[in-house]
Structure 1
Amino acid sequence: MHSYAAVLRTPHALSTFGAALLGRLSYGTVSLSLALSAKNASGSLAVAGTALALFGATSVVLSPVRAALVDRYGPRRALVPMAVVYAALLTVFALVTRDHPGAGTSAVTLGALAVCAGACTPPLGPTMRTLWSQLMPDRRMLQRAYSLDGVAEELLLVAGPLLVGVLVAYAEPAAGVAVSAALVLVGTVALALSPVPFPVRRGSGRRGSARRERTTRTRPRGLMQPVLAAAGVGLCLGGLDLLAIAFTERQHQPGAVAWVLAALSAGSAVGGLTYGAVSWRSAARPRLALICAALGVALAAAGLAPNVYALGAAAAVAGLFVAPALTTAYLIADEAAAPDARTQAGAWVNTALNAGISGGTALVGVLVGTLPLFLCFVLVAVPALVCAAVTLHGENHRKRH
């Protein structure tokens, strides 16, 4: 059986993956850094929250568009210019917010810079998954590579805020924004210089247009299930974060929420690495349905937790299915996409996940004060169960036809 070491021993895999991780560490540092810098400069938490929301919204919504540019022109011609502009905008944001504590820096200025920076965020995750598909023609090895990629990315999102915490202990918050700019620029350039061939979309005129039209017609059908699953997982995760806060507060242990969420991340890491190590005989689509169903059941059961310790254990169990669900969704998207549209396909899955997280947080924010907490946990589990049912129905329909 292939090992994770075999994935990294593949020629150019370690250097390419390392470059991508260096750039993606910026995604773990930038959000908190932006929020702290905006708060420090404007003196307003509302302004900071608005700037961060604008940054996140434009980054998520335009992700498939940026990924399509990478598919069309390749990393060197599309990804590097994005990173340069993105890093420049972050640097301007850092300069604008530097040495102006509470000075009332214009909210319009901060918002405009946040929107522009978010619009230029380089799609490093989708690009790396496209490169993985080039590096790993064997589907079992690709599954392992995606699992490793997903777990590493989750660890970076945990490590990023810790790095910002260290930075702001010795420097002002703007330093975190500047470091984020440097990380993404260096990582993106190194990734773009990778010798791994990238399947750039070619062809123009009537023949090229016809091929693109065929791809466009087939893409929504093939991507519907993985995108729906990613959105469902996102809704569950966004809701669970808020429910963990509400639960620990009602137990008069608000500080324990960090441990509950850490248990979720740990479970996801263990589940992802274990999932990638198994050579599955079942097809990816029915497997995705079963994973989503298991996630839904685990989340509903978490509502029965009598104390914080039990909730942490339940969160760890639920986490076991998070990374496998996302890994399978990315695998299905890769299979469904044309070779020269893989980056955009992965970006759609990623966009659905992030949109689901935001939607789940907003929905539970409305419900948590009006419904019993157990019922809120059940409702948070519903998206995963619905995704499982829809995926199974679609697979059965496909087999009949």
Structure 2
Amino acid sequence: MSLTASTDSAPRITYSAVLGSPHVARLLGGTLTGRLPNAMAPVAILLWTLAADGGIAFGGLLSALFGLASALSQPVKGRLMDRYGQTAVHLPTALLNSSLLIALPVAAPYGGPTLATTMVVAAGLTAVPLEAGMRALWPSVLPDPRLRHAALALDTGTQGLLYIVGPLVAAALASVHSPALALAVTAVLGLAGTLVVATAPPSRCWQPAPTTVGGAPARRLASGELLALFVSLTGIGFALGALNVWAVAMADQHGRDILSGLLPAAFSTGSFLGGLVYGRRTWPGSTARQLLAGIVAFLAGWLPLLAHPGPGAATVAVVLPGAFLTVVVACAYQVTDALTPAGRTSESYAWLILSIGIGQAVGTALAGRLADHVLAVAALPAAGAAFALTVLLLARPGRAVARNGWHRHEHA
């Protein structure tokens, strides 16, 4: 059975029906609030370092270390959730993460760069894995696959908004009061959002599926098809990382600083709107085929940048690849679910998140080296998308999905 199979008699999906379902609005709101530190903390850390005369180079290093530590620790925290449940992971990590962010401007000056670096890395390692946890909750919260499809699209589409709102809030707090306040508010928001999620019945009661079948251990997590999917997603992350540097290069070339924020914001807006459209209805074909189609459209959306458009045209152009990002990520989660053995769902989602994060870091680094060559940087997002498409065409994970059958959650 195709995950996205629909019937003419099925009622139209509405977001009011999704948000009106028990616990959905609470879990979505809490997850978005609790994940704001992912977007706020790097900016707040950088601004605090500058205010403490640490220099922009050291501040950039600390921000990068926070993001890298958070990404690299995702699979470990996902594995712990699969083994001990969400509450046992969410609450301790939230308390540690918030305490470290609040203590950073107080304690770090006495310990110098070494203590500051240690605290920032520890804060990244203890970032709460709310995204993977939320994706694991959807099957139990919304047993209807059609509503779950809409919820996943809404969840994925709103991610981009975090990276518009978060940096703006952190910068505003640092400007109006101090970077220390920005760090404190970041910590409070992260802890508050996590508490909202962790105390919700679906999260408190969530238990992973048994990791044994008939007394035999579950198959290993990293099947060839799943590994290929994760490798392909590094290309998607690569495109996102290159986008941010390209936006800065465009701003520098045209002497308009606002472009460095406006272009990513337009892309994120496209992602949000694309998610709303995608989640409103079911679509023909298997989800594996939708994933391939989404990456093709994502690649096509970047091609106009090769013509080196001006600021206005570029701002409009990036909306198109943004609109298909949500389709790609939402479908990737569903294919991951179908290829993951029972009892390893959170860990598998965490590897997906890490794959995109690694690609984003590589894309940012390479684009940074080429920042003086705007045309070359403009081609990097399309190159990342082309890499993702090539890997998937060679691996064809849809064959494994069809062979193994859809994951147990699709029949819940």
Corresponding residue number in structure 1 for 2:200: 194
Decide whether the 8 Å contact of 1:42 with 1:107 is kept in 2. no
Whether the aligned pair in 2 keeps the contact of 1:229 and 1:329 (CA below 8 Å) is: no
Question: Do the aligned partners of residues 136 and 378 (structure 1) sit closer, same or farther apart at CA in structure 2, a change above 3 Å counting?
Answer: same
Residue 80 (structure 2) pairs with residue 79 (structure 1) = no
Aligned length: 389
Partner of 1:92: 103
The corresponding residue for 1:350 is 353
Equivalent residue number for residue 378 of structure 1: 379
Residue 23 of structure 1: CA displacement?
Answer: 1.0
CA distance in 1, matches of 2:43, 2:64: 12
CA contact (8 A) 1:285 1:391 kept: no
Displacement of 1:360 in angstroms is 0.5
What runs of 5+ residues in structure 2 fail to find an aligned partner? Answer: 1-11, 404-412
Deviation digits for residues 269-320 of structure 1 (CA, Å, limit 9, x no counterpart): 1111111113112111121112112211221221214311111111112211
Counterparts of 1:186-335 in structure 2, within 5 Å, are: 186-196=192-202, 197-200=205-208, 210-212=216-218, 214-216=219-221, 219-335=222-338
Q: Quick one: distance in 2 between partners of 1:330 and 1:398? A: 16
| Structure 2 CA distance for aligned equivalents of residues 286 and 397 of structure 1 | 7
- Are 2:210 and 2:342, in contact at CA under 8 Å, matched by a contact in 1? no
User: Aligned partners of 1:341, 1:320: CA distance in 2, in Å?
Assistant: 30
More helix by share: 1
Which segment drifts farther, 237-246 or 388-397?
388-397
Q: Distance in 2 between matches of 1:173 and 1:133?
A: 40
1:121 aligns with 2:132: no
Paired amino acid for 2:206:
F
CA deviations 1:83-138 (Å, max 9, x no partner) are: 111112112113236xx7xxx96111110101111111110111011111221233
Return closer, same or farther for 1:169/1:250 CA change in 2, 3 Å cut-off.
Answer: closer
CA distance in 2, matches of 1:106, 1:248: 35
Contact kept, 8 Å, 1:290 with 1:388, in 2: the verdict is no
Structure 1 CA distance, aligned partners of 2:365 and 2:16? 41
Distance, in Å, in 2 between the alignment partners of 1:80 and 1:54 is 23
Tell me, yes or no, if the aligned pair for 1:286 and 1:395 is still in contact at 8 Å. no
Given the superposition, is the C-alpha separation of residues 235 and 395 from structure 1 closer, same or farther in structure 2, using an over 3 Å criterion? same
Distance 1:366 1:169 in 2: 30
In the alignment, does 2:24 pair up with 1:21? Answer: no
Distance 1:386 1:346 in 2: 21
Provide the rounded CA distance (Å) in 2 between the counterparts of 1:126 and 1:87: 19
C-alpha offsets along residues 202-247 of structure 1, whole Å, 9 cap, x if unaligned?
Answer: 579x987x424x143xx43342344234311110111122122223
Structure-2 residue corresponding to 1:57: 68
* Contact persistence 2:66–2:120 (CA under 8 A): yes
Tell me, what secondary structure is at the counterpart of 1:303?
helix
- In the TM superposition, residue 375 of structure 1 has moved relative to its aligned partner by 4.4
Q: Is the 8 A contact 1:233 1:383 kept in 2?
A: yes
> Measured at CA, do residues 14 and 397 of structure 1 come closer, stay the same or move farther in structure 2, by a change above 3 Å?
closer
Task: Provide the C-alpha distance between the structure 1 equivalents of 2:107 and 2:369, rounded to a whole number of angstroms.
Answer: 35
2:383 maps to a residue whose letter is V
Counterparts of residues 97-176 of structure 1 (less than 5 Å) = 106-176=112-182
Alpha-carbon displacement from aligned partner over 1:173-202 (angstroms, at most 9, x marks no partner)? 011111111122222122111111413365
Report if the CA contact (8 A) 1:8-1:14 is conserved: yes
TM-score normalised to structure 1 length:
0.89
The answer to whether the 8 Å contact 1:27/1:180 transfers is no
Cα distance in 1 for residues equivalent to 2:21 and 2:343 = 22
> When the two structures are superposed, what TM-score results if normalisation uses the length of structure 2?
0.87
Give ranges in structure 1 of 5+ residues lacking alignment. Answer: none
Alignment partners' CA distance in 1, 2:300 and 2:118: 43
User: Cα 1:251–1:190, aligned 2, differ >3 Å: closer, same or farther?
Assistant: closer
In structure 2, the CA distance between the partners of 1:226 and 1:134, relative to structure 1 (3 Å rule), is farther
Matched-pair identity in %: 29
Deviations 1:367-389 (A, max 9, x none): 343x5x44443343122123223
Q: Does 1:398 align with 2:399?
A: yes
1:207, 1:88 → 2: CA distance? 44
Q: Give structure 1 regions of 4+ aligned residues with deviation exceeding 4 angstroms.
A: 201-204
Distance (whole Å) between structure 2 residues aligned to residue 3 and residue 225 of structure 1: 34
Distance in 2, matches of 1:87 and 1:227, equals 30
Maintained 8 Å contact 1:167/1:176: yes
